[in-house]
Structure 1
């Protein structure tokens, strides 16, 4: 089962990733993190279906931090391309999106993206806080 959420800033995105790392009973197979100018999109794919209790708990946690995301056709194509094994770099070029992480995310990837983006702008936008 896939969960797709929009999060307003990098801190909440990092919090979700840390939460998933700590929760061994939520075995993830793939997490995709995409930065957009107005926030972050995170797609979480689990190895197996969650129990109804796990599903409810996870949705409750995610709903506290962000909102369920219903992707437009371009983002559907981005996720489909990644799911079919296409290279994140190729997908970024084709669809002009910033894929920060795909697979097993490392918090340092998001931190590095945040620092490089901020350094290039000369200030820290709200979405990178």
Structure 2
């Protein structure tokens, strides 16, 4: 099972990543991508989960974001990461910001957010 959602800002993205970090779901990986207008998050499970748990996850994610239908570029990025390519190589090749890939890591999102804000000198809406 997998979930692919678009979230409008960093706070909601952090909330989702923390939700999966604290859960006992059989998570294979969580991928977080930042774009100028929001965030893309993909969660893939190692194995199937019950229908009830699936509904709970979908309800939680739908409260915070919307189901994302990836462009060809993002599909290639996600496929490359899932195939085992390093996030750095994927970022260089596709010119996309992969903030995190692997186990849920809210601290990586926070570091990215603070570094970006410090560099700009202000906080854009998608980093709020």
Using the size of structure 1 for normalisation, the TM-score is: 0.96
Name structure 2 gaps, 5 residues minimum: none
Equivalent residue pairs, number: 128
Name structure 1 gaps, 5 residues minimum: none
Q: Match for residue 87 of structure 1? A: 86
The residue correspondences of 1:38-117 to structure 2 (distance < 5 A) are 38-117=37-116
CA deviations on 1:25-56 (whole Å, 9 max, x unpaired) are: x2211000000000000000011112111111
CA deviations on 1:96-125 (whole Å, 9 max, x unpaired) are: 000000001322111110011111111000
Cα deviation, residue 22, structure 1 = 2.1
Q: Match for residue 22 of structure 2? A: 22
SS at match of 2:48: coil
SS at match of 2:18: helix
- The RMSD of aligned alpha carbons is 0.8
Using the size of structure 2 for normalisation, the TM-score is: 0.97
